[in-house]
């Protein structure tokens, strides 16, 4: 890739930007571990500190990195757990808005599903890891989720018990498998004639189905998810500035 960037005379700071992004995908950086300093990166890539600084600033603008005064530059951890709150409004027994707790109900290695592998942009015969997960408020299941993952990226999950998973999946993916979710695309549908095992709805009750494709820093899809919730909880909200 770097040879291609050089061949087409891409600006040096853009080449360094790509190299830093590659560095981020190859290592595991948590919110307490800063990246190498600009001086160290300059020495690593044999460029000026000014070139590194410009590359880092672009990554900050892109929302990949963030700077903390006096502490360094860190990989930004996107928070997708509140994304469902755009579609559903959940309240606890005191009528306060809350974020549901996530619980894994099933984990299994399954044979290839061509339509899922197409979404994950992998070979149609590639083996998958399948999860069933629920979101709970006040001991009541309010969202049911089906999740498919490429086994090639998430094989360590197979050896775990469901109670070893955290409530937040994406930090858990990164900790256990080194797979960092940076962005996601979601599509919403209203569906009928679908009785969900965990929601215990009748086939006559309409559901909201949210389909998500999550991608890593390189824009590669690494998770496909379907979330189901009762239509009576649906409430779309977005802020436009």
Cα gap 185→187, rounded to integer Å: 7
Q: Could you tell me the two tokens for 63?
A: 């929302």
**Beta-bridge mates of residue 16:** none
Over the stretch 10-29, which tens digit does the pLDDT of each residue have? 788 888 888 888 787 776 67
CATH class name, domain 2-75: mainly alpha
Q: Which of 167, 178, 162, 181 is nearest to 223 (CA)?
A: 181
CATH number of 83-233: 3.40.1410.10
Please indicate, yes or no, whether the overall pTM of this predicted structure exceeds 0.85.
no
DSSP helix/strand/coil, 54:
helix
**Taking the chain, what is the end-to-end CA distance rounded to the nearest angstrom?**
37
Task: Please answer whether residues 91 and 98 qualify as being in contact, where contact means their C-beta atoms are separated by less than 8 angstroms.
Answer: yes
Residue count (the chain): 241
With bands split at pLDDT 50, 70 and 90, how would you rate the model's confidence at 200?
Answer: very high
Q: Could you tell me the two tokens for 48?
A: 């000026």
Between 36 and 109, residue with greater pLDDT: 109
Residues of the chain with CATH 3.40.1410.10: 83-233
Residues of the chain with CATH 1.10.10.10: 2-75
């Amino acid at each position: 890739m770097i040879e291609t960037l050089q061949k087409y005379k891409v600006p040096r700071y853009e080449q360094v930007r790509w190299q830093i992004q590659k560095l981020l995908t190859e290592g595991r950086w948590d919110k307490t571990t800063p990246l190498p300093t600009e001086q160290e990166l300059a020495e690593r890539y044999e460029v000026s500190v000014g070139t590194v600084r410009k590359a880092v600033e672009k990554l900050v603008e892109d929302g990949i990195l963030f700077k903390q005064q006096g502490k360094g530059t860190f990989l930004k951890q996107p928070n997708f757990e509140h994304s469902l709150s755009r579609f559903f409004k959940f309240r606890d027994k005191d009528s306060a808005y809350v974020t549901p707790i996530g619980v894994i109900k099933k984990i299994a290695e399954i044979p290839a599903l061509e339509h899922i592998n197409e979404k994950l942009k992998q070979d149609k015969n590639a083996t998958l890891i399948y999860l069933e997960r629920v979101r709970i408020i006040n001991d009541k299941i309010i969202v049911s989720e089906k999740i498919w993952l490429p086994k090639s990226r998430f094989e360590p999950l197979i050896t775990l018990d469901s109670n070893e998973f955290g409530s937040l999946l994406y930090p858990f993916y990164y900790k256990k498998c080194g797979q960092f979710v940076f962005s996601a695309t979601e599509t919403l549908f209203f569906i009928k004639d679908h009785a969900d095992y965990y929601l215990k709805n009748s086939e006559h009750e309409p559901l909201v189905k949210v389909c998500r494709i999550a991608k890593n820093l390189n824009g590669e899809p690494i998770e496909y998810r379907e979330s189901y919730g009762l239509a009576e909880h649906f409430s779309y909200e977005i802020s436009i500035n």
